[in-house]
A and B are shown apart, each in its own frame.
Chain A
Amino acid sequence: MLRTNRAADIEKVFAKYPTKRSAVMPLLYLAQAEYGYCSPEAIREVAELCELDPTEVKSVTGFYTMFNESPTGKVILDVCDDLPCALRGADAFMAHCESRLGIKAGETTADGKFTLRSAMCLAACNRAPLLQANGDYHYDLTPESFDKLIDELGK
């Protein structure tokens, strides 16, 4: 339970906001860290903490792509395939990622190591193809450098 396992963190978050409902996003991050994703129980817990209806919290996790509503692999790969990146070969790069990992964008490898997702502009268009691995940027990727990255991250 978030309330028992993360009591001190929760206190700290609430201290920063004038009302409980304002704390919904930081608490969702806490919950995501605790459970690995924003599970239905996590959403209900956060709702209770923030004195919101669970539907309102679910709406927040649905709106923001960085809240995961289903379990993910250990490493989340967000590959940008928005228009500027596409002009720099992101589509072909994505195809490579998919074949290397043996999954489609949006899926998780069977060993639970990687989740591959297509992302909207990650604000580094000039260095495409690029991806974020659990939030860390990797720029100017090629099929080869991607394979190397996967070998490293998969260890």
Chain B
Amino acid sequence: MADLINLTIDGVALAVPKGMLIVDAAKTIEKDIPVFCYHPKLKPVGLCRMCLVEVGTPKIDPATKQIVKDEAGATVIAWQPKLTTACTTPVSEGMSVRTQSKPVIDAREDVLEFLLTSHPLDCPVCDKGGECPLQNLTLAHGPAVSRYDYADKQHNDKHAPLGDLMFIDRERCIQCARCIRFQDDIADDHVLQFHNRGRAEEVITFSTPGFDSYFGGNTSDICPVGALTTADFRFKGRPWELKTAASVCGHCAVGCNTALNTRLNTRTGVREIKRVMPRQNEQVNEIWLCDKGRYGHHFTHAANRLTHPLIRKDGALQEATWESALQLISDKLKTVPGQKVVGVIGDRLATEDAWLFGRLMTDVIGAAPAFVSPRTASAYADVARAAGLGADADFKALGKGDVIVVVNGDVEEQAPVWFLRLRQAVVDRGAKLIVAHHRSTKMHRYAAGIARFAPGAAAQWVAGQPAELAALKDARNAVIVFGDEKLSGHNARALAQSLAHALAEAGHADKPNSGLVPLYPHGNTQGVCDAVDPSRGAMPESADVAWLAGVGDPADAPRAGFTIVSELFLTPLAAAADVVLPAAAPAEREGSYTSGDLRAQRFWPAHPAHGESRPDWWAFQEVARRMGKDWSFGGPEAIFAALAAAHPAYNGLSYAGLAAVKPQWPMVGRAEVNFGGTVYDNTAGLGARTARVPVGGAAEAPVEPTLADLTRPEPALYRAGDLIRHSAVLAGRLV
């Protein structure tokens, strides 16, 4: 290949793409050149000097301009007299690099000795200890004793809050600027900067609230020392005490891959989540998480989780056994006509739960297809399924020639990590961005075209064939991200239809990296809607029996003579129910979610279920069995197999397939934390994209928005919901 460059590193020959930096090239052959300031996701700055190596290039005879060969015919290498930073030097043809020579080792020792002049080396009480690049490199290269006068050591603040979510230990900071560069170049929140210079240089924030960013937690992962610690995890455990389970964030439609770190609480004997870490998936979240995903896990261990089934007796809910609760439910269901039963399922449940719930309603009880809550999103999920992203779609492949349109959505608030990735497609790689909204969002900063419409009039705007959408015609790929802000289900569906139509008109319907991307409210809106194929009509005012599984909004519940609620907490709906079934939290069970960009991804249990709570699918199956259905699914894998056989979007997919991994770049995690930070590598599964499924039915015309539509609150990342309000650390940010 023409754009491969041949070089040798420590005598090992390799070929890497043109333009690659030496430090990256070495990584491809798993040779770790130590770095502090370099990070593969950030632009190199060369300011720590830890990565110094010897570099030589083929010697050229000045007279003949030919490469000089020795007697044996081998190319003579002209070694540069001084060491070079591997993090800023691109490879060149015939280059030779030494990463283990005496001058290189000496330089590392010198750099470390300087870094340690004022470093506290308080590893025993440092949260980073055990996964700290500085600690590791000090072990490898550091001096055993300090030649620096103790009295001359610089002493700085050790527990300085940078706002409510993050602390800085200024003595530990080695001024690598990774945190600042992340905030500047990736999050575009310029809320961290250096202050002062020389030995007094320190990282500060002066924003309100302090360190005001949705992505701040990532700086703790990439900080190469224990300077930045999260308010959530600091002093909560040592890395080597933590067990890890692969999971998927359910808080928004991105579906970030996570690693749940748990630790045994020896006092209670309960294994608890101590922190949520990013797990690399370059097509989903790369190595990032937003702070909601990172800190929004506390609901799992909330003290007021339901522990037992509850049955209403003498007007009050009382603890009961599963056996009696399940029997009561099935007895009740046997006595009422199927049409008088209404099922509603929330979009936070796993796809497998939803599949069984859907079958339970239609095939076992004989009811109408279940409703999905929130109703608005369920009104257009089939359209999004039909016109969604293609099989190989990847926001990272979007760039020059591609068009990204954001309609009626606030990407940073609704799908934070997509914001990072789409912004980079525009700012770093030249994709053209068009934003259409009734108000300003952070995305507007990067827009080449901006359109405004009246609140609630997004579909009307598209129907008017606006000039801004003409850009779709010349686009190589076109991605349209849309939200349902201020829209009724009907109007949101009309919007999705008209956008799908606009994509098709411009010739993007079948392209692999084009399609519609809905900003769903939660992580499995698509999966739940796929699985139950929801009823879209008006919900009956009343029913004989209603089963509400994970329904948050009381408006999505019909009045019923007998109400069953499956829940984590005693929500207002649960408190008014006749039977309450305690559900296992996502971290306590297996399952899969399908993201807004149509990727099905698995999650694994991190610890046993709380009390007697059980996965929802299990309760649905138990009721079905008591009603005479011979279901015997052993678990989510078998349910997924049944779904995959029946649902065209999932045909051919299996749990084994979703667990497949392939090498990703940059290479992060493994046993090494210098290069990528403390992000986990992905060994559990990258998931798989589900297929588009055509949808029938004519396009519907939008109608005037109602007052109810227009007064619905704007989407906000920290809008207090049933789950994140259990995270005390986020209390100051909830809206």
Give A contacts to B, CB under 8 Å: 40, 43, 52-59, 62-63
Q: Residue of A at shortest CB range from B205?
A: A55
Within the complex, the shortest CB–CB distance from A31 to chain B, in Å, comes to 14
- Most A CB contacts (10 A, CB to CB) among B191, B192, B194, B206 go to B206
Q: Are B207 and A55 in contact (CB under 8 A)?
A: yes
The reply to whether A62 and B196 form a contact with Cβ atoms under 8 Å apart is: yes
Q: CB within 8 Å of A: which of B181-208?
A: 189-197, 204-208
Q: A43-B206, A62-B204 are in contact. Are A55 and B191 (CB under 8 A)?
A: yes
User: Do A56 and B190 touch across chains, with their CB atoms under 8 A apart?
Assistant: yes
- A40 partner residues in chain B, CB cutoff 8 A: 206
Main secondary structure on A side of the interface with B: helix
Partner of B190, one of A43, A55, A63: A55
How far does the alpha carbon of A1 sit from the alpha carbon of B189 in the complex, in Å? 26
Q: How far is the CA of A52 from the CA of B206 in the complex (A)?
A: 11
List the 6 closest pairs (A to B, CB-CB), nearest first. A59-B193, A62-B195, A58-B206, A53-B190, A55-B206, A54-B206
How many angstroms from the CA of A55 to the CA of B210 in the assembled complex? 10
Query: Do A63 and B194 have beta carbons less than 8 Å apart?
Result: yes
* Extra contacts besides A40-B206, A56-B190 (11): CB < 8 Å: A53-B190, A53-B207, A54-B208, A55-B190, A55-B192, A55-B193, A55-B206, A58-B193, A62-B195, A62-B196, A62-B204
Give the residues in chain B near A62, CB-CB below 8 Å. 194-197, 204
Q: Contact partner of B195 among A52, A53, A54, A58, CB < 8 A? A: A58
CA distance A54 to B207 in the complex (A): 6
B interface residue count range (under 10 / 10 to 19 / 20 to 34 / 35 or more): 10 to 19
0/1 string, B208-240, CB within 8 A of A gives 1: 100000000000000000000000000000000
Across the two chains, which residue of chain B brings its CB closest to A56? B190
Which chain B positions have C-beta within 8 A of A58? 193, 195, 204, 206
Least distance between B204 CB and chain A CB atoms (Å): 6
Which of B196, B207, B208 has a CB less than 8 Å from the CB of A63? B196
Whole-angstrom CA separation of A55 from B193 in the bound complex = 6
The residues in B between 94 and 115 inclusive whose CB is less than 8 angstroms from any CB of A are none
* A52-B205 Cα distance, complex, nearest whole Å: 13
- Residues in B with CB closer than 8 Å to A63 are 194-197
Q: Which residues of A contact B197 (CB under 8 A)?
A: 62-63
* Most chain B CB within a 10 A radius of its CB, from A43, A52, A53: A53
Contacts of B192 in A (CB 8 A): 55
Q: Which of B191, B193, B196, B197 has the most C-beta atoms of chain A within 10 angstroms of its own C-beta?
A: B193
B212 and chain A: residue at smallest CB distance: A53
Docked pose: A59 CA to B203 CA in angstroms: 9
Residues of A within 8 A of B196 (CB): 62-63
What would be 23 A-B contacts, judged by CB atoms less than 8 Å apart?
Answer: A40-B206, A43-B206, A53-B189, A53-B206, A53-B207, A54-B206, A55-B190, A55-B191, A55-B192, A55-B193, A55-B206, A55-B207, A56-B190, A56-B193, A58-B193, A58-B204, A58-B206, A62-B195, A62-B196, A62-B197, A62-B204, A63-B194, A63-B195
Q: With CB as the reference atom, state the residue of chain B lying closest to A64.
A: B197
B204 to A55, Cβ gap below 8 A? Answer: yes
Taking CB atoms and an 8 Å cut-off, the chain B residues in 525-557 that contact chain A are none
Instruction: Give complex CA distance A115, B196 in Å.
Output: 19
Least distance between B480 CB and chain A CB atoms (Å): 29
CB B308 to nearest CB in A, in angstroms, measures 50
- Bound CA span A63–B205, Å: 14
Contact A52 B190 (CB under 8 A): yes
Q: Which chain A residues lie closer than 8 Å to B193 at the CB level?
A: 55-56, 58-59
Q: Give chain B nearest CB distance to A11 CB in angstroms.
A: 25
Q: Is the pair B194, A59 in contact by a Cβ cutoff of 8 Å?
A: yes
B174 to chain A, nearest CB (A): 18
Kindly identify, within residues 107 to 152 of chain B, every residue whose CB is under 8 Å from any CB belonging to chain A: none
Per the bound structure, the CA–CA distance linking A62 and B205 in Å amounts to 12
CA separation between A59 and B196, bound complex, in Å?
A: 7
Assembled-state Cα–Cα distance A55/B207 (Å): 6
Q: Which residues of A contact B205 (CB under 8 A)?
A: 55
The smallest beta-carbon distance between A50 and chain B, in angstroms, is: 12
A25 to chain B, nearest CB (A): 15
Q: How long is the Cα–Cα vector from A55 to B187 in the complex, in angstroms?
A: 15
Within 8 A of A (CB), among B327-378: none
Instruction: Give every chain A residue within 8 A of B191 (Cβ-Cβ).
Output: 53, 55
Query: Which A residue sits closest to B194, measured CB to CB?
Result: A59
Q: How far is the CA of A87 from the CA of B245 in the complex (A)?
A: 64
